[in-house]
Structures are given as structure tokens and as C-alpha cells.
Structure 1
Amino acid sequence: MAADAWKAHAALLLVQLNYGAYHVIVKLAVTGGINQLVFCVLRDVVALTILGPLAYVKDKGKPPSFIRLLSVLIFFLGLTGILGNQLLFTLGLNFTSPAYAAALQPAIPVFTFLLALAFGTENANWQRIDGKAKILGVLVCVAGVLIMALYKGPALLGDDFSDLNLQGIAVAA
């Protein structure tokens, strides 16, 4: 089992690299003048044209496992969850940089946990080990967000790849 652990770490690294590339691509597209709603719809249409045939081929010959009402609910969940999420992301990215968007990404589990606490679907008992682990995880995520947002280190790729250039502002040499 430990010999296959590298696959999980490689997959996690690949996902994070994809997120970083996606943030930069979206920022360039929005800065280039594409409408945010059009971008989000095109993104979902491309995903549907790729994943739709794959799902059909994989489940060919199997009876449908859900009813019409469930299909409608899944549609509205996709509309509000995926399309709404990406639309709000691209609208927000219009006012900030890909680095800032990437810095806030570790905060997603924090917001999720706090909402779950507020709605009562999650509890964090400080007296138990699992409660301590949950709170420690939230603190680690908050620390990661603060470090990524506030730490100003040396440029890895030079001034040509700075956030100011992505925003269309010339960087003085």
C-alpha cells in the first residue's frame, strides 16, 4: 500500500498545477475581453462534450438509475453549484490576480467547516481527539492562507510573469 502512496501525491500535485494554470488562463481571458458568463458557459459546454460521450459509453446497456425529478434536481445543482461558482470566481478574478485567487483556495475548507458548524451538520468538541484535529486543520488552513497572501518572496520567473503584467499594467524595469 505504501508503494502506491506516490500516486496520490502525484495526483494532488497535478490537481494543484491545474488549478494554478486555470487561474492564469481565466485571468488572461477576462483581461482579454471575454464576457465572464460566456466563458463559464463555454467551459461547461466543453466539459459536457468531453464527459457526456464517455459517460454514455461507460454506462451503455445499463438501465437508467435515476428518475426524471432527480435529473432536474441535478441540473439545478449544476447550474447553481458549478456554473454559479465559476461565474462568481471569474467576476471576482476581474478585480484581483491569479496569485490572490490561488492564495485564497486553502480557505475553502475553512469556510465549509464554519458553515457546517453554523448549520449544525458538524460539531467540534474540544475535549475529543477528533474535535482537536478538526480545529487544528482549520488553523493550519488559515495559517496557509495568511502565509500565501502576506508573504512577499523573490520572483521565481522574473518580472515578465508578475501579476501586474497579467492585469495589463506595464512593470517598470
Structure 2
Amino acid sequence: MEDQNASSGFGKNFRKVKPYLAMVSLQFGYSGMYIITMVSFKHGMSHWVLSVYRHIVATLIMAPIAFFLERKIRPKMTLPVFLRLAVLGFVEPVLDQNLYNMGMKNTSTTFASATVNVLPAITFIMALIFRLETVNLRKIHSVAKVIGTAVTVSGAMVMTLYKGPALQFAKGQATHHESGSTTQPSEQNWVLGTVMLLASCGGWASFFILQSFTLKMYPAELSVTAWICFLGIFEGSIATLIFERDMSVWSIGIDSRLLACVYSGLVCSGMAYYVQGVVTRERGPVFVTSFSPLCMIITAALGSIVLAEQVYMGSVIGAIIIVSGLYTVVWGKSKDNVNKSEAEKREGQELPIKDSTASGSDIFDGIEINVPTGAGKNVVASPRT
């Protein structure tokens, strides 16, 4: 009996932490994609072609899984649902990914990765507009969500604007950094790149919001993921043919470019869309995007270890601030879930009926209840006037 109770308790605790583990793991996946993608760009990979190929890989993997695992629970496809899926296939696979890559080329990798950290704030504001999130300034956990979002953005700005002294974690970092320096973009390109990055964050936030509404109409996460990847292939191909006139960009070899397509398609399109959809249904889009700042921290750490990139004091301070804001947002969201569960339990309980054999009735506002009396007759309790 004790073993069963312990097993039951472990399973319950594991279910509570699963969304957190899923989102943290996803940030590691995105960080790996960031490094692999940058290497592929240096070998001449077109970001338009990469977007198409990664979703071909994702479709080949996710479509069969969705077909077999959700064949009994998959709802009937309707035109409104298909149109939403078509928009999702354009917003994230085409618009967001390509705007981000173009913005990164016009600014810098550090600035681009830091800009993504405004995603939780944009998503939070959009969720408030579409009433997916509520804020009650009289509740501490609601205030915590607002403060945590502001702190997270502040930490991202610190990492972007404050450089500070260099920190030596490994030998040869400074030499690698100096030899790997490149020409800074012009001021005009920097402004254009910043606009592209912010537009990319807006597109990504819109994807989460629309995905949340779509899953309510079509509650099949695997099928939604497969459809998004499938439609993204056609929409991305049209955009590639418009902006890339040289057909040689479609050819890739067995090198970092192929690795970037397979890795990003499997981890960051197929698995990511599915995991984000599941967690979005359970916790909401703000919870999902609140973990995005971790990606920058993980990427900086991996870049320092794997690529021997230089780490500065500003990045460390910003990372600490980001983690603090992230914890505050997650704490506020956890209290939201507790309150929601308690409300659902109260709604599910039956109205208590007081047995009053003396009067033979019990009175509730606006409700008629038949209460058996001791004599075996029924007395109808009329609404209070």
C-alpha cells in the first residue's frame, strides 16, 4: 500500500512538472538549432530554402504519427479550421523564421537573440487583448505576471545594451573573438534589421495566440502540427521562388546545410509545434513564451563552450535578471492554475440540499427543488421573491 501511495504521489508530481521540463528542454533544442543554422549560413545556405526543407522533414515525420495516433479522435476538417491552419503555416514557417534570419544578417547574432526576449511581453499584451489572460491588480499573482514580464524584458535589454568586462572561462576565447570579428552593419541596415526582428517577434506571438484558438476548434495537436508543416512547405516554396531567382540555392550536400534542415525540421518544427500546442492548451500562450529568454542564456553558454565565444559581464547580469523575471511569471501562472482548478471543482459540486423535515422545503434563489418530506409527499420550493 505504501509503495502504491508513493508511486501515485510521484506520478502526480511528475505531471505537475512536465510542462516545465518540456519547455526547458525545448529551449535547449532551439539553442542547438541556433548554432547549427549559423554554421549552415556561413556555408551558403539560403534562409528561404532552409525554411522549406526543414518543414519537409517535419512533415515526413509528423504526418504518419498524427495519422495513426489520432485517427480515432481527430475532428472533421472544416473550412474555418483549414483557413486558420493556412494562416498558421504562413505566420511561423514563412513570415517569422525568414524575418528573423534577415534581421540577424542586418544586425548581429547577439542583438537578434536578445531581441527575441521581448516575445513574452508581446504575447502577454496580445493575450490580454484577446482575453486569453486576465489581470486583477488586487491579486498578487496577477501583479507578479506583469512585473515578471517587465523584469524579463529589462534583463534582455541589459544583455543587449551593456557589454561590461570580458570574462575568461576557457583559454583562447579572446583570441578567437578578435580573429572572428566582422565588419559592423551600417546604421541604416541596423534600423532595418531591428524592425525585421521586432516584426518577427510579433509574428511568433501571433502564431501562439492563433494556435491557442485553433486547438479549441480542432483539439488534435499532432494533426495541427502536421498541417502547419505541410502548408508551410507550399507557402514557403512560393516565397522562395519569388525572392530567390537562382535555382542553384536549392541544392545542398551532405554537410552542415543538410544537418541544419534535418535538425531544425525534427526538433524545432515538428516536436516544437507539438509540444508548444500541448502546453498552450494546458497553461496558455504566455506560459509557453515566458521560457524563451532561457534560449539566449543556453546559447551563450554553448557558444562559450563549443565555439569558444567571448562572454561578458553584461550577459551574466542580464541572465540573472531574466531568470528572476521568468520565475516570477511562472509563479504567477502557477497560481492561476490553482485558482482555476478550485473554481472548476466548485462548479462541479452539486448544490447542497438541507434536509428539513419540519418545514418540508429548502429555498434557493431562482431554483426549484423537490425535497421529500417525512409523509412521503413532495413539496416544491418556490424562488425567493
TM-score bracket relative to the smaller structure: 0.7 to 0.9
- CA, structure 1 residues 9+67, in 2 after alignment: closer, same or farther (shift >3 Å)? closer
The answer to whether the aligner puts 1:165 opposite 2:180 as a matched pair is yes
Which runs of 5 or more residues in structure 1 are unaligned? Answer: none
Which amino acid counterpart does residue 154 of structure 1 have in structure 2?
A: L
- CA, structure 1 residues 164+45, in 2 after alignment: closer, same or farther (shift >3 Å)? farther
Q: Which residue of 1 aligns with 2:92?
A: 81
The answer to whether the aligner puts 1:17 opposite 2:58 as a matched pair is no
Contact 1:23 1:102 in 2 (8 A): no
Contact 1:36 1:90 in 2 (8 A): yes
Residue 67 of structure 1, aligned match among 77, 87, 101: 77
Q: Percent identity?
A: 24
- CA, structure 1 residues 63+143, in 2 after alignment: closer, same or farther (shift >3 Å)? closer
Which amino acid counterpart does residue 88 of structure 1 have in structure 2?
A: L
User: 2:73 & 2:130 partners in 1: Cα distance?
Assistant: 37
* Pairs within 5 Å for 1:1-173: 4=14, 10-60=21-71, 62=72, 64-69=74-79, 70-117=81-128, 119=129, 121=131, 124-149=135-160, 150-152=162-164, 153-156=166-169, 158-159=173-174, 162=177, 165=180
- CA, structure 1 residues 30+146, in 2 after alignment: closer, same or farther (shift >3 Å)? same
Contact 1:27 1:166 in 2 (8 A): no
Which amino acid counterpart does residue 67 of structure 1 have in structure 2?
A: M
User: 1:168 & 1:22 partners in 2: Cα distance?
Assistant: 24
Contact 1:103 1:148 in 2 (8 A): yes
Contact 2:51 2:93 in 1 (8 A): no
Contact 1:106 1:142 in 2 (8 A): yes
- CA, structure 1 residues 155+105, in 2 after alignment: closer, same or farther (shift >3 Å)? farther
Report deviation, 1:123.
5.4
User: 2:178 & 2:19 partners in 1: Cα distance?
Assistant: 31
Report deviation, 1:87.
1.4
User: 1:135 & 1:54 partners in 2: Cα distance?
Assistant: 39
Which amino acid counterpart does residue 76 of structure 2 have in structure 1?
A: F
CA displacement, residues 44-95 of structure 1 (integer Å, 9 cap, x when unaligned): 11111111111112124x2751324122431232222332111111111222
- CA, structure 1 residues 115+66, in 2 after alignment: closer, same or farther (shift >3 Å)? same
CA displacement, residues 71-128 of structure 1 (integer Å, 9 cap, x when unaligned): 24312322223321111111112223443333233321111223445x4635544344
Report deviation, 1:137.
1.5
User: 2:45 & 2:169 partners in 1: Cα distance?
Assistant: 29
- TM-score calculated relative to the size of structure 1: 0.73
User: 1:27 & 1:71 partners in 2: Cα distance?
Assistant: 34
- CA, structure 1 residues 104+156, in 2 after alignment: closer, same or farther (shift >3 Å)? farther
User: 1:168 & 1:17 partners in 2: Cα distance?
Assistant: 29
Report deviation, 1:31.
3.1
- TM-score calculated relative to the size of structure 2: 0.37
Secondary structure in 2 matching 1:67: coil
CA displacement, residues 123-144 of structure 1 (integer Å, 9 cap, x when unaligned): 5443442441222121221132
Which runs of 5 or more residues in structure 2 are unaligned? Answer: 1-8, 185-385
